[in-house]
Amino acid sequence: MLNGKGPIELARERLVKAVNQVLGVVRRKGRSRKVGLALVLTVLAGGRASVRNAAETFGLDYANLLEALGELDGAWRDYLEVLSGLVKGEVAVIIDDTVDHDAPGGGT
């Protein structure tokens, strides 16, 4: 343990730092946090969107974005690796992709 932190805490900190690095690249160019989060989620979900295309579309610095997304990808993989070492047995992942378009309280 480094500084009393276990591997999961260290991996989580690296992941958070990588997310913030991507958000910083996006925000420095005046883009919204939502744009940054969309790029982050694309990487975390295993998306293979063109970094050059994203940089051109949003007016971002290609080299900085490439570096930040590469760091994010590595941090995410490390985090999953650490988590997989903690989980014993089978795991079921359930993704609910249904959307309830009704307003809260049952109104339409």
Condensed to tens digits (0 to 9), the pLDDT of residues 6-55 reads 889 999 999 999 999 999 999 999 999 999 998 888 888 876 667 888 88
Amino acid at 43: V
Could you tell me which residues are beta bridge partners of residue 2?
5
Distance CA 61, CA 64 (A): 6
Q: What is the pLDDT of residue 103?
A: 57
Distance CA 36, CA 99 (A): 24
Amino acid at 50: S
Is the pTM value of this prediction over 0.75? no
- 2: DSSP letter: B
Domain ranges across the chain:
7-86
Record the tokens describing residue 33, joined without a space.
């946090």
Q: What is the pLDDT of residue 106?
A: 54
Q: What is the pLDDT of residue 107?
A: 52
